[in-house]
Amino acid sequence: MTTAITDSFTQDHHRCDRLLAQAERRVAAGDWPAAATAVADLGAAMEHHFALEEGILFPELAQVFRVAENPIEIMVAEHAQLRALLTDLHQAAAERAQADALGVLETLHLLVQQHNYKEEGVLYPMADGALPERGAAIAALLAGD
């Protein structure tokens, strides 16, 4: 069985984790120009990842594997929650509100880890099994970032 979707989307999760850690370091150091860049990089990376899932991976999976609809709805709802936290983080970084930004980053870190665990353990393997002929093409879209 191919694991192209699981492998590539999991690697992208790790890339986003590194960007999140970098944002935490920059905010903790009070290096606001670097923090603004790190927060922007994190937001762009996560939005790209969500857009590929919501625009391509999830619809194709739901089309061929109806049982995936419920977990997909949960993942999309969690994306909305993560996007709201990213908005709060951008605001806190723009205001140089260090305690607020670190609080948002801590919450974001926790929720991202829980979210990624579900996607990597359930949804991506399900997609690899249901979309074996499309996995490599969908995975290649992540490299376009």
pTM, full prediction: 0.94
CATH no. of 3-142: 1.20.120.520
**Residue 51 in contact with residue 126, Cβ under 8 Å?**
no
Tell me which DSSP letter residue 3 carries: -
How much is the pLDDT for 116? Answer: 98
Residue 144 has what pLDDT?
67
What 3-state class would DSSP assign to 16? helix
Q: How many CB atoms lie within 10 A of CB 11?
A: 13
pLDDT tens, N- to C-terminus, the chain (145 residues): 789 999 999 999 999 999 999 999 999 999 999 999 999 999 999 999 999 999 999 999 999 998 889 999 999 999 999 999 999 999 999 999 999 999 999 999 999 999 999 999 999 999 999 999 999 999 999 886 4
pLDDT score at 145: 46
Output the six-digit token pair for 94. 């723009």
| pLDDT value for 63 | 95
3-state secondary structure 34-94: HHHHHHHHHHHHHHHHHHHHHHHHHHHHHHHCHHHHHHHHHHHHHHHHHHHHHHHHHHHHH
In the chain, where are the structural domains located?
3-142
Distance separating alpha carbons of residues 3 and 1, to the nearest angstrom: 7
